[in-house]
Structure 1
Amino acid sequence: MIHVKETTDKTGNTGARPEAFIRNDQFNFIKDQTRILVTGQATGNDAEVLSVLRHLAHEKVFKLFPSLTAEQKAVLNPLASVKEKADAEAFLAQLEPYIIPFKAVTDAALKKLFPKAKKLKGPKFENIDFKKLSYLAWTESSSLMYLVYEKDGRLEGIHGSLTRSHKKGICAICNRHSEVGMFTAKTKSSGQDNYIKRGNYICQDPNVCNSNLNSLERLGEFTGMIQK
């Protein structure tokens, strides 16, 4: 169920304002669509082509949200009017109050997720904007990386080593070209003392990855591959 907040405008009228309903990855997808519209406006002057671009952007964004309320549609509708960079910036700024922050993480929760990490320091929560996260990751002791993500409404965690490659490549999580490193983790195989190493290249900087991530599909595939 979508809850709404009662808000009062400058004239004293009361209206319904939807609660946050946009995940970070969905916000990034919308941001990508605004870039397409701005680029199309700057490089072409065919009104019909531009109209098609706006229609496609509108359709793709609305497809992200199968059960939009009238209030939520009103929040997203200005996308179709984006032409210049300033339009895109203004539109994205007015979406920010509707972004769902990443699930709250505490030191106690981290100890439960990583019970064997006795000297776990954890990230500096005060420096983190949880609205800009699709997953939480940080490194300790130069190469040990911890990653926390949400699955079926609860937090899950994986950890492994991150070997920096000093080169650019495609990240397995965000599917963008960036500075990547090889993340590898040990998982138990059949037998008490048998382990298998699994891994892939991911962004060295989790902040860059979270800002690029426009779908949770590959994040799910990556974490599933590590843990299977």
Structure 2
Amino acid sequence: MIHVKETSDRTGNTGERPEAFIRNDQFNFIKDQTRILITGQATSNDAEVLNVLRHLAHEKVFKLFPSLNDEQKAVLNPLTSVKETADAEAFLEGLEPYIIPFKAVTDAALKKLFPKAKKLKGPKLESADFRKMSYLAWTESSNLMYLVYEKDGRLDGINGTLARSHKKGICSICNRHSDVGMFTAKTKGSGQDNYIKRGNYICQDADVCNGKLNSLERLEEFTDMIQK
């Protein structure tokens, strides 16, 4: 039996869905493992090699979840049966009800996170897919960027400027090759009027970044660096 819990969506409707236990970054990691299995199946006929790939994929994915119950294990076990793209698509589609959406965000909460932004417009929350987010980011006034993430169970935020470029590079958040821009933020230094600029290259498109990010480690490193 699959446990379900009653939830309320952003329109106020209530319904039942399976209890979520997979973060967006973990889902992306699992998706990466399915690609490895598909590639292995397409390039090797060695049964022993394929068995090793399946074992490693299973081990890596289960390591993401130290306290899996039998029900959750049953949800993840079909990973080792993935051989073709259709198998991966069916498996990943079956995981979607178990994805934990990004922490609920409201316009009022955003204004509290960025009190100095008097004319904050905010993102279009009604069209956002929070199950595909590890962080929320948007730009205003062409290059002013706001980034909201979860830290210690609460929402936190940083803002700065994003200098777009026409070059591809490695994003410091998702660690993937992408169209990047230099995100720079000012933080108050030790002196009364002393400000320090810190920044790094990140994906210009936050949706693309969220779709590639397969670990929260670099996101945490990036936000900690900005807020030092």
Aligned to 1:211: 211
Shift of 1:5: 2.3
1:166-202 CA deviation, whole Å, 9 max, x = no partner? 1100000000000000000000010111000000000
Q: How does 1:147-166 map to 2 (within 5 A)?
A: 147-166=147-166
Distance (Å, rounded) in 2 between the aligned partners of 1:192 and 1:127: 41
Aligned to 1:195: 195
Shift of 1:18: 5.3
Aligned to 2:49: 49
Shift of 1:4: 3.0
Equivalent position amino acid for 2:183 in 1: F
Equivalent position amino acid for 2:26 in 1: Q
| CA RMSD, 1 decimal | 1.2
Distance (Å, rounded) in 2 between the aligned partners of 1:136 and 1:111: 14
Gap runs ≥5 in structure 1: 7-16
Distance (Å, rounded) in 2 between the aligned partners of 1:213 and 1:81: 24
Distance (Å, rounded) in 2 between the aligned partners of 1:83 and 1:114: 47
Aligned to 1:174: 174
State whether residues 18 and 97 of structure 2, in contact with CA within 8 Å, keep that contact through their aligned partners in structure 1: no
TM superposition score normalised by structure 1: 0.93
4+ long deviations beyond 6 Å: none
State whether residues 18 and 72 of structure 1, in contact with CA within 8 Å, keep that contact through their aligned partners in structure 2: no
Aligned to 1:23: 23
Gap runs ≥5 in structure 2: 6-16
Secondary structure of 2:83's match?
A: coil
Say yes or no: does 1:105 pair with 2:105.
yes
Aligned residue pairs total 216
Q: How does 1:49-198 map to 2 (within 5 A)?
A: 49-198=49-198
Distance (Å, rounded) in 1 between the aligned partners of 2:4 and 2:24: 21
Shift of 1:42: 0.5
Equivalent position amino acid for 1:37 in 2: L
Distance (Å, rounded) in 1 between the aligned partners of 2:184 and 2:19: 38
Distance (Å, rounded) in 1 between the aligned partners of 2:192 and 2:136: 30
1:28-58 CA deviation, whole Å, 9 max, x = no partner? 0000000000000001100000000000000
Distance (Å, rounded) in 2 between the aligned partners of 1:92 and 1:162: 33
Shift of 1:102: 0.1
Equivalent position amino acid for 1:199 in 2: G
Distance (Å, rounded) in 2 between the aligned partners of 1:147 and 1:5: 32
% identity of equivalent residues: 85
Aligned to 2:9: none
